[in-house]
Amino acid sequence: MAIKVSLFFLLLSIVGCQSAYYSAMEKVGKHKRDILIDRVESATESQEEAKEEFKNALEQFSALVNFDGGELQQQYEMSNNHYHTSKVAADDVTARINAIEDVAEALFNEWHDELDQFTNQSLKRQSQSRYRETQNRYASVIESMWNAERRMQPILNALKDNMLYLKHNLNARAIGELKTEYKLIEQDVERLINEMNSSINKSQTFIKSLKAT
């Protein structure tokens, strides 16, 4: 019970901090819509970086499984480093998507509440129409982001499993046994890149629509 109460007050403090942040930003002329644009742009940049990190990790893993002489330990360490770098990039993407959801919720709640303040019904209908249109576009963008995000963890899990296996069995025979694993990871990375590209394109279109309104 005590843990639930503590979590409740922790959530309240987080919400309170966010509200205070948005209020402070509005006082200097930066509104929730502007913050949403900034966060979508940042998430898009993070997706681009993550995409490159996963491609690099795949290329290094390919070099490892096709090992033909040289320093095997060095190839393993390079592959392991690429796995950890990819994980950091993936965590950054997740954090930035969560940040988008936070400001979007605040923006749409405020917009919805302010609709009742209109006295001019024509302007109210126009604002309601833009509200629904923006919400629908946002829903498509955030869904696309999460779809791409969900493809990262299985790849990270596979890379980690392979790194652990090689850590325990670092020899040419073990390397050869992972060639099938590489093919599976390669297919997953290709799907991830496609999902990322789709998400990035939707995000860029969404940003343009926000800047135009």
pLDDT 10s digits, 134-147? 999 999 999 999 99
Neighbours of 63 (CB within 10 A): 14
State the SS3 of 8-60. HHHHHHHHHHHHHHHHHHHHCCCCHHHHHHHHHHHHHHHHHHHHHHHHHHHHH
Task: Give 196-211 pLDDT, tens digit per residue.
Answer: 999 999 999 999 999 8
Please report, for residues 31, 140, 207, the alpha-carbon distance to residue 211 in angstroms, rounded to integers and kept in the order given: 13, 17, 6
Radius of gyration of the chain from its Cα atoms, rounded to whole angstroms? 23
Q: How far apart are CA 123 and CA 106, in angstroms?
A: 22
Its pTM surpasses 0.85: yes
